[in-house]
Structure 1
Amino acid sequence: MDTGPLRPSPLVEQAAARLRARIADGTWPVGAKLPGETTLAKELGVGRSTVREALRALAGAGLVRPRQGAGVFVTATAPVDDFPARLRRAAVTDVYEVRAGVEVHAARLAAHRRTDEDIAALHAALAARRAAAEGDDAAFVDADIAFHAVVVDAAHNVVLSGLFAQFVPVLRKGLVELLALTGLRARDPNHGDAAHEAVAQAVADGDADLAAAVLAKELQDPFGQAGQPEG
């Protein structure tokens, strides 16, 4: 195991990696107390503040946990696989299946809870999506996702909004790639416009069943009727 001084950059990441390696190789097993900051700083050849930040990174990964007045203890030998990490590795089709459940429920709630401001935001997002149809695939996907985010936000449920926000990076990457692969917008630059208008109108009219049904139909097949994504 390498125990020499660390190179000057980036110290926190290097310190965290060195400590993580010692936990992984059993130097400090689960339940063990880590040496104090001063000892670790001396061993790693860095300042105590660098050690402190490295320990925070390990705590965020679920590897260690500080106990007030007792020190820092090992809680796991491998990082916790958190939800954002799982999403980054997930197939866009898997994310779409969960996204559909979140959005359909949100659309139903939005039809009951929407405010005048929400209705105005929906119409503005629909107009922005139409304008983006004149641009490239990335701009269109961004406008499409923004519209769906407005629908979810109109449900006024912070958990639903938070879940959708977690999906966005994976959705954006997957949809941009799929549009490039299929060339769908070469035939229909504003793909899905009628369905999006129908969702906006149903939410504005307070028709929960229609809003949910239209959105469910739109999202039930992420690849459309011919193996192509629906927006």
Structure 2
Amino acid sequence: MTIPTVRLGRPRRLRTDRLTTSWMLVALGTAAVSLTVRGVLPQPLWTSVHVVTLGVLTSSVLQWSWYFARALLHLPATDTRSGRDATLRMLAFHASLVGLVAAMWTGQVVGTIAGAAAIGAVIAWHGLALVGAARTRLANRFAFVARYYIAAAAFLVVGCILAGFLTVAMFAAGAPAWLLAARDELTLAHALVNVGGWLGLSITGTIVTLGPTVLRTRIDPAALDLAIGALPALIAGIVVGAPP
């Protein structure tokens, strides 16, 4: 009697990318409401911006940056960092974002700060996981992309800290005068580190390796050295560009 052979495939993972799709639908819905019915949506400008930048874009970056880093750093599919931890981060991020939106809509200072802090903690976890993976695995020559993702995560953590100060300036009745006076500068710095730092560096690091793949051509060997050398300059540019 022949005993059938059971093949063990890759462990099944929760499709967290569907949560990003849900935020896309929410973004379309909030845009439609904001354009057609005025005064119904709480904090319409903030909601329209952050549903896209956090719900759609940040969720996507969390998903793809870990996917590419996992491949470039040769993490096996059975590694808990490849599956379980990444899934937990995505679930924690989306739960934190829902809490942030709810607190912002109701004007709760403490709740909004807690939501921003929770998102910052998830992103810090993401960055530290990348650092740990880069140190413990034998990577190939494209592994420098992880440095872009790590730097990007650091910028978003700073952006979450700035969001806490902005929340106090916007809602707290007893906000100090210096914080109220610096609100515009904090808003600009918040936007710069989030869009230029988090999104910009993540996209730049990815496109160096993904671009030639999409175009079905070989990558120029000099492009790798240029990308490695460009990272400090890009970081410095974002830091210098942020208002003091």
Determine if the TM-score, normalized by the shorter chain, exceeds 0.5: no
Larger radius of gyration: 1
TM-score by length of 1: 0.27
TM-score by length of 2: 0.26
Between Structure 1 and Structure 2, the one with more helix by share is 2
Higher RCO (C-alpha 8 Å, min separation 6): 1
